[in-house]
């Protein structure tokens, strides 16, 4: 059996991703992930700096816009109600953004489209271990060995992109295809067991882009098969069970209580959080109240650099951006995203076959994470799993574009 030799970069970056993304898994946390993640990230940064790979493969105009946005985030320290928190969080945020983009791009350049998502492999392994070893609780939402169902569901959703890519790559090898289908079914089983709505959204975007990236005949076949599979499952499921499931797990309202009569029924559980976040966002004004700060709450201990126990659940990234970095920060955030997609989509539409599927899955993951940011305020986190995955995926896309440009120049 042939075992491929692993490079230093491959090992250290894989460890970095695992320690950041899987820190919510209890046995990973116990291993010391809180400190090891930063040590690994620092080693990756040094490697990238010494090899002159920091933001090397990124579009110049987009790079300048991103750096302006990061500088603005750090500048909010000057007028922040909690300057120490804003400085530490914005610095770590900027550090992680630059490192993950650079490492994601370098990963693809080193290993190609075919292995562009292999950095998620160990995340998948640890997520499955968490799922298999987790025990049932009194909660109706399964969480494996993580701290809450949303963390568990996120791990299953984000790693599905890797599994879909493996399905496509092994479509002609029946034995390997059957194995990866089985693994994907386990992944979906755990995802459904978590009943994490935001994770479902990520998964659906990944699945949608996977289908869109397939050749037309395969798109039709997959779409029709998926439709009939859903119909069969719904027809065979008792109506009473469907009603109970929708109430408990989708609406997250098992007692059918009307929490906010003015809110759409699907968003009842988020209504009050969003109302408070909207009011706080309006207080942010043009310049914001300071990165990672809750306006009006200066109760922060200088000993708690990570801000544990400070602030509140914001529940929406866009409101959080407005509250913390103001209208200027929101405009810069939107500009970074708009320019990114403007640059990327022309390249995506040029691709064919396996390369298009690979980029499609990455874009599906990015869109899924952005959709999740509407209900989870992860954007301004300094080291959240979503943030690490998002910026790594952005780097992966730029690495893919660089390879395409190099291929065209070769001809």
Q: What is the mean pLDDT of each run of 10 residues along the chain (411 residues)?
A: 73 96 90 89 97 95 97 95 91 97 97 95 95 71 84 94 94 90 91 87 91 77 62 52 52 50 52 78 89 80 57 81 94 97 95 94 96 90 93 98 84 59
**Residue 327 in tokens:** 């209208």
For residue 225, tell me if it sits in a domain.
no
For residue 242, tell me if it sits in a domain.
no
pTM for the predicted model, two decimal places: 0.88
For residue 76, tell me if it sits in a domain.
yes
Task: Check residue 270 and give its pLDDT.
Answer: 62
SS3 355: helix
Task: Check residue 252 and give its pLDDT.
Answer: 54
Structural domain tally of the chain?
1
Range of the domain at 272: 8-213+254-410
Query: What CA–CA distances, in Å, run from 260 to 6, 33, 146, 253, 272?
Result: 54, 39, 30, 12, 8
For residue 140, tell me if it sits in a domain.
yes
For residue 239, tell me if it sits in a domain.
no
For residue 223, tell me if it sits in a domain.
no
For residue 234, tell me if it sits in a domain.
no
Please enumerate in sequence order all residues whose Cβ is within 8 A of that of 18, keeping only pairs 6 or more positions apart, or say none.
28, 122, 123, 126
For the chain, the farthest-separated pair of C-alpha atoms sits apart, in whole angstroms, at 64
Q: Which helix (H) or strand (E) holds 105?
A: helix 83-111
Please enumerate in sequence order all residues whose Cβ is within 8 A of that of 403, keeping only pairs 6 or more positions apart, or say none.
108, 109, 112, 113
CB 45 within 8 A of CB 99: yes
For residue 224, tell me if it sits in a domain.
no
Structural Rg of the chain based on CA atoms:
22
Task: Check residue 258 and give its pLDDT.
Answer: 46
Task: Check residue 166 and give its pLDDT.
Answer: 95
């Amino acid at each position: 059996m042939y075992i491929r030799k692993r490079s230093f970069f491959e090992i250290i970056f894989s460890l970095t991703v695992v320690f950041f993304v899987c820190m919510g898994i209890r046995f990973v946390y116990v291993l010391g992930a809180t400190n090891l993640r930063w040590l690994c990230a620092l080693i990756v940064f040094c490697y990238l700096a010494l090899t002159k790979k920091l933001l090397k493969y990124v579009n110049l105009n987009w790079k300048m816009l991103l750096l302006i946005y990061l500088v603005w985030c750090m500048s909010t320290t000057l007028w922040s109600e909690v300057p120490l928190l804003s400085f530490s969080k914005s610095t770590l945020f900027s550090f992680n953004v630059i490192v993950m983009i650079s490492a994601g791009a370098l990963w693809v350049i080193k290993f190609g489209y075919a292995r562009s998502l292999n950095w998620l492999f160990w995340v998948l392994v640890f997520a499955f271990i968490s799922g298999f070893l987790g025990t049932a609780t009194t909660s109706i939402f399964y969480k494996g060995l993580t701290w809450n169902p949303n963390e568990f569901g996120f791990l299953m959703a984000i790693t599905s992109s890797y599994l879909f890519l493996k399905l496509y790559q092994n479509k002609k090898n029946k034995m390997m295809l059957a194995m990866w289908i089985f693994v994907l079914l386990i992944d979906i089983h755990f995802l459904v067991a978590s009943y994490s709505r935001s994770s479902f959204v990520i998964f659906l975007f990944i699945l949608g882009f996977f289908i869109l990236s397939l050749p037309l005949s395969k798109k039709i076949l997959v779409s029709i098969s998926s439709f009939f599979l859903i119909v069969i499952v719904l027809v065979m499921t008792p109506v009473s069970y469907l009603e109970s499931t929708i109430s408990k797990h989708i609406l997250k309202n098992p007692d059918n209580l009307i929490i906010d009569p003015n809110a759409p029924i699907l968003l009842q559980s988020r209504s009050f959080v969003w109302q408070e976040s909207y009011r706080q966002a309006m207080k942010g004004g043009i310049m914001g109240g300071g990165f990672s700060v809750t306006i009006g709450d200066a109760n922060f201990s200088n000993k708690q650099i990570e801000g544990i126990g400070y602030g509140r659940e914001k529940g929406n990234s866009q409101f959080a951006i407005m509250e913390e970095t103001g209208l200027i920060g929101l405009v810069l955030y939107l500009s970074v995203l708009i320019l990114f997609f403007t640059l990327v989509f022309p390249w995506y539409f040029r691709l064919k076959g396996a390369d298009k599927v690979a980029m499609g899955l990455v874009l599906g993951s990015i869109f899924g994470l952005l959709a999740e940011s509407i209900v989870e305020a992860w954007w301004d986190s300094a080291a959240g799993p979503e943030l690490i995955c998002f910026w790594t995926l952005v780097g992966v896309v730029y690495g893919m574009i660089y390879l395409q440009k190099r291929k065209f120049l070769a001809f």
